[in-house]
Amino acid sequence: MTTPLPTGAVIGILGGGQLGRMLSVAASRLGFRTHVFEPGANPPAGHVADRVTTAPYEDEAALRAFAETVDVITYEFENIPTSALDVLEALRPIHPNREALRISQDRLTEKTFLTEQGLTVAPFADIPDAAALEAALETVGTPSILKTRRFGYDGKGQARLKAPSDAAGALEAMAGAPAVLEGFVDFSCEISVIAARGPSGEVAAFDPGQNVHRDGILRTTTVPAKVPQRLLTDAVLAAAKVLNALDYVGVLGVEFFVTPQGLIVNEIAPRVHNSGHWTQNGCAVDQFEQHIRAVAGWPLGDGKRHADVVMENLIGDDMDRLPDLAKTPDCALHLYGKADVRPGRKMGHVNRITRG
């Protein structure tokens, strides 16, 4: 058993974006203070954090000073440089653990790991070079998607192949980065599970949400998902399998394609996840607090949903709809305090309570 962190303890958060912001607010609800480490200036999380360190991940002294002020370290994104983790891990516990990061930082490692767990993923192939791509077009075929192994998010670092003739262009779009080719999956819809595991091994999952993406970016998540219960159960079990295999502590997001042959895992994210934002208005303990509870060694919430919710991301010009949304009944706004509206930039989200 882990001793739960007491009131007043400090949670260190790597990354100062909207996820760090909402983690910080959740931590405050449990009486914790937060210290955010973020290279960029004026991070959204900084508005609601007790402390902010502005420094690059290469600044070893800043990392040490940060670690020494906190009781435990977590993160809002998976692409933290290994060298920074080495410095931090020597000083304070980091949850979720390095193994979860190692696996989710690399699409090839991740797909291999998921396959080893007995989960189904789309056909894939390692693409270190043009020859490998040519070979993979025989096995994986087209349509397919070439993705960089690392650092891709929200549709970035991806190129679609409609036919073998797209190969050269797609490879060029990778700019020399190691890549993986994924076979196209003919799915009826996408769902995701947000699940958590505590230090003593307890697991809790929120109801799976049904997701709609556009241009590679999540647009809406709806709960309950209109998917047979059998598949929703499969999804929760798959998430639990991943959590246990990784001896994981914290919240994990798992995305699935729903196909006639059952579920295919799209990807995992070792952190709170955009498709779990609905929990802020649908559950007594939301995904952000659930993550903080796990990281702090507190009992997990049971994940029970007391309201039906449609979460919609507010992206770029969607902010023009703010005056209307603010007037719409049953709508809970969650804005991120970002100064500049840019196309494709997540500016906030709205949780519409469709049944209370």
Q: With binding defined as CB under 8 A, does residue 306 bind a second copy? A: yes
Pick from 80, 263, 285, 310 the residue near a second copy by CB under 8 A.
285
For residue 17, report the phi and psi dihedrals to the nearest 5 degrees. -80, -160
With binding defined as CB under 8 A, does residue 260 bind a second copy?
A: no
Residue numbers belonging to the annotated binding site:
107, 147, 152-158, 182-185, 190, 213, 266-267
Q: What span, in angstroms and rounded, lies between the C-alpha atoms of 170 and 235?
A: 32
Is the bond leading into 178 cis (omega within 30 degrees of zero)? no
Q: Which of 14, 36, 198, 2 is nearest to 94 (CA)?
A: 14
Least gap, CB of 32 to a second copy (angstroms)? 7
Nearest distance, CB of residue 207 and a second copy, angstroms: 13
342 contributes a contact to a second copy by CB under 8 A: no
* Closer residue to a second copy, CB minimum distance, 209 or 301: 301
**In whole angstroms, what is the distance from residue 293 CA to residue 279 CA?**
15
**Is residue 18 near a second copy by the rule CB under 8 A?**
no
Answer for which of 98, 156, 214, 304 binds a second copy (CB under 8 A) is 304
By beta-carbon proximity to a second copy, the closer residue of 10 and 122 is 10
Report the relative pairing of strands 203-205 and 72-75 from DSSP bridges.
unpaired
Cα–Cα distances in angstroms (integers) from residue 334 to residues 28, 95, 217, 310, 331, in the given order: 17, 26, 18, 13, 10
DSSP state of 323: H
Which listed range, 3-11, 132-140, 147-155, 209-217, lies at the site for a second copy (CB under 8 A)?
Answer: 3-11
**Contact map string, positions 41 to 80, toward a second copy, x by CB under 8 A:** -----xxxxx------------------------------
The residue from 16, 32, 191, 318 that contacts a second copy (CB under 8 A) is: 32
What is the full DSSP assignment across 295-322? HTTPPPP---B-SEEEEEEEEGGGGGGH
# chain residues binding a second copy, by CB under 8 A: 49
